[in-house]
Amino acid sequence: MDEAGTLHNPPDVSVILPALDEEQTIGNCIAKIQQVFREQGIDGEIIVADASSDRTGEIARSLGAKVIRTRKKGYGNAYLEAFGVASGRYIILGDADDTYDFLAIPDLLGPLINGADLVIGSRFMGTIHRGSMAALHRYIGNPLLTWMVNVIFGSHYSDAHSGFRAITKEALDRISLRTGGMEFASEMLINASRLQLKVVEVPVEYYPRKTPSKLHSFADGWRHIRFVLLMKPLPFVAIPGILFSVIGFLMMVFFYFQGDVESSHLHTFILGAIMVMGGLQVVLTAFLMKTYSIIHGYEQKVGIIEIFMRYENLERFLILASLLIFLGFLSGLNIFVQWISENFGFLSQITTAIVSLVFIITGIQVLLFTVFQSMMLLNENNGAG
Average pLDDT over residues 244-272: 89
Least confident residue range of 219-233, 317-331, 366-380: 219-233
Q: Of 174, 200, 230, which one is at a domain's C-terminal end?
A: 230
Looking at the domain assignment, is residue 182 inside a domain?
Answer: yes
Distance of CA 337 to the CA centre of its chain: 51
pLDDT tier, 112 (very low <50, low <70, confident <90, very high otherwise): very high
Which residue did the predictor score with more confidence, 381 or 113? 113
List the one residue out of 186, 41, 21, 159 whose CA is nearest residue 100. 159
Q: Is residue 5 part of a domain?
A: no
Q: How do 90-93 and 43-50 pair as beta strands?
A: unpaired
Is the predicted pLDDT of residue 255 greater than 60, yes or no?
Answer: yes
280/213 same-domain check: no
Average pLDDT over residues 260-270: 84
What's the chain's average pLDDT? Answer: 88
Rounded distance between C-alpha atoms, residue 178 and residue 287, angstroms: 21
Q: What local confidence, expressed as pLDDT, does residue 293 receive? A: 82
Q: 273, 278, 268, 281: which is closest to 248 by C-alpha?
A: 273
In a domain, 161, yes or no: yes
Q: Is the pLDDT of residue 128 over 80?
A: yes
In a domain, 7, yes or no: no
- Same domain flag for 165 and 278: no
* Judgement on whether residues 221 and 309 belong to the same structural domain of the protein: no
* C-alpha–C-alpha distance, residues 228 and 231, integer Å: 5
pLDDT score of 124: 96
**Percentage of the residues of the chain whose pLDDT score is greater than 90:** 58
* Mean pLDDT to the nearest integer, 339-351: 67
Indicate the pTM of the whole model: 0.75
Output the pLDDT for position 32: 97
Q: Are residues 111 and 196 in the same domain?
A: yes
Residue 147, φ and ψ in degrees, nearest 5: -60, -45
Strand partners, 120: 165, 201
pLDDT per position as a tens digit, 16-65: 999 999 999 999 999 999 999 999 999 999 999 999 999 999 999 999 99
Neighbours of 333 (CB within 10 A): 11
Q: Is the pLDDT of residue 327 over 90?
A: yes
Residue of 59 and 336 predicted with greater confidence = 59
| 64 secondary structure, DSSP code | T
Tell which of 200, 230, 260 closes a domain.
230
User: What pLDDT is attached to residue 4?
Assistant: 44
- Are 211 and 236 within one domain? no
Where residue 173 sits, what CATH number does that domain have?
Answer: 3.90.550.10
Mean predicted confidence (pLDDT) in 312-327: 91
pLDDT above 70 coverage of the chain, percent: 91
Q: Is residue 6 part of a domain?
A: no
pLDDT value for 383: 41
| 380/385 Cα distance (integer angstroms) | 9
238 and 366 inside one domain: yes
* Domain final position from 194, 214, 230: 230
Q: Assess whether 98 and 146 both reside in one domain.
A: yes
Same domain, 365 and 338: yes
* Per-residue model confidence (pLDDT) at position 78: 95
Same-domain status, 344 and 211: no
Q: How confident is the model at residue 385 (pLDDT cuts 50, 70, 90)?
A: very low
d(CA 205, CA 99): 8
Phi then psi dihedrals of residue 15, to 5 deg? -105, 120
Around 184, how many Cα atoms within 13 Å sit in the side-chain half-sphere? 20
Amino acid identity of residue 58, one-letter, is E
3-state secondary structure of 166: strand
pLDDT range class, residue 210, cuts 50, 70, 90: confident
Task: Compute the half-sphere exposure of residue 47: CA atoms within 13 Å on the CB side of its CA.
Answer: 22
pLDDT tier for residue 384 given thresholds of 50, 70 and 90: very low
Note the pLDDT of residue 301.
Answer: 64
Over 90: is that where the pLDDT of 321 sits?
Answer: yes
Determine the angle formed by the axes of helices 142-153 and 184-194, rounding to 10 degrees: 30
User: From CA 249, how far away is CA 271, in angstroms rounded?
Assistant: 10
Tell me whether residue 4 is in a domain: no
Identify which of 357, 221, 368, 383 has the alpha carbon closest to the alpha carbon of residue 284: 368
The structural domain count of the chain equals: 2
Domain match, 283 and 225 both: no
The predicted pLDDT at position 343 comes to 63
The residue type of 156 is H
SS3 79: helix
Same domain, 109 and 147: yes
Q: Would you say 21 and 58 are in contact if contact means Cβ atoms under 8 Å apart? A: no
N-term to C-term CA, the chain: 51
Q: What is the largest CA-CA distance in the chain?
A: 98
Residues 37 and 144 in one domain: yes
Tell me the three state secondary structure of residue 67.
strand
Q: Exposed e or buried b for every residue in 119-153, given b needs 16+ CB within 10 A?
A: bbbbbbebebeeebbeeebeeebbeebbebbbebb
Would 1 be classed as within a structural domain?
no
| pLDDT value at residue 227 | 82
Q: Tell whether the torsion through CA atoms of 363, 365, 367 and 370 is positive or negative.
A: negative
pLDDT at 247 over 50: yes
Containing structural domain, residue 377:
232-383
Tell me the per-residue pLDDT of 166-205, one tens digit each, with 9 for 90 and over: 999 999 999 989 888 888 998 999 899 989 999 999 999 9
Instruction: Indicate whether 3 belongs to any domain.
Output: no
Rounded distance, CA 360 to CA 354, Å?
A: 10
